């Protein structure tokens, strides 16, 4: 999994909120508050494209960028990568992660249970 810097994560968050963005629109949205130039936004989008996390299409003289992966897919890939590198029992590692998630509300716990139940049903088929 390619490592992402803070700006790359912030750009991905924006890309996940709307279907497509130009570098100019992203800069207008987040450049001033972060104190970054349009060139920095363009470079960040180019890095994300090379990392195969965003796709782009040419429109006029500019590219329009959209996410190639959804947030959940990216998080799952990072977790699989981390669990693989740490070794040991994946179930114990995931259980430790859940135990460490302080402040988890009831809705989140119910969502986790629903995902686990869905996986059980898929594997029993």
> Does 78 share its domain with 119?
yes
User: Both 34 and 49 in a single domain?
Assistant: yes
Pair 22, 54 in one domain:
yes
Q: For residue 124, what pLDDT band results from cuts at 50, 70 and 90?
A: confident
Angle at 45 (CA atoms; ends 8, 65), nearest 5 degrees: 115
The pLDDT tens digits for 32-53 are 899 999 999 999 999 999 999 9
Is the confidence at residue 119, as pLDDT, over 80? yes
**How far is it, in rounded angstroms, from Cα 43 to Cα 49?**
10
Portion of the chain with pLDDT greater than 90, in percent: 53
Find out whether 25 and 65 touch, Cβ atoms under 8 Å: no
Residues 79 and 114 in one domain: yes
Domain tally, the chain: 2
pLDDT at 125: 81
97 in any annotated domain: yes
pLDDT, residue 102, reads: 75
Both 58 and 11 in a single domain?
Answer: yes
Q: Look at residue 70 in the predicted model and tell me its pLDDT.
A: 94
This prediction's pTM: 0.77
Query: Same structural domain for residues 51 and 88?
Result: no
The verdict on residue 105 lying in a domain is: yes
1 belongs to a structural domain: no
pLDDT top residue among 122 and 85: 122
Same domain, yes or no: 63 and 75? no
* Whether residue 85 is found in the same domain as residue 108: yes
Tens digit of pLDDT for each residue in 40-89? 999 999 999 999 999 999 999 999 999 999 999 998 888 888 888 777 78
Same domain, 75 and 120: yes
Separation of alpha carbons 30 and 107, rounded Å: 31
Q: Which domain holds residue 28?
A: 6-67
Residues 28 and 62 in one domain: yes
């Amino acid at each position: 999994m390619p490592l992402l810097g803070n700006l790359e994560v912030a750009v991905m968050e924006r890309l996940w909120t709307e279907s497509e963005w130009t570098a100019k629109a992203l800069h207008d949205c987040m450049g001033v508050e972060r104190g970054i130039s349009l060139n920095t936004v363009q470079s960040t989008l180019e890095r994300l494209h090379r990392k195969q996390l965003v796709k782009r299409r040419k429109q006029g003289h500019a590219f329009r960028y959209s996410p190639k992966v959804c947030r959940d897919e990216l998080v799952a890939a990072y977790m699989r990568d981390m669990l693989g590198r740490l070794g040991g029992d994946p179930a114990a590692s995931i259980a430790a992660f859940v135990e460490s998630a302080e402040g988890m509300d009831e809705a989140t716990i119910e969502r986790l249970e629903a995902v686990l139940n869905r996986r059980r049903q898929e594997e029993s088929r």
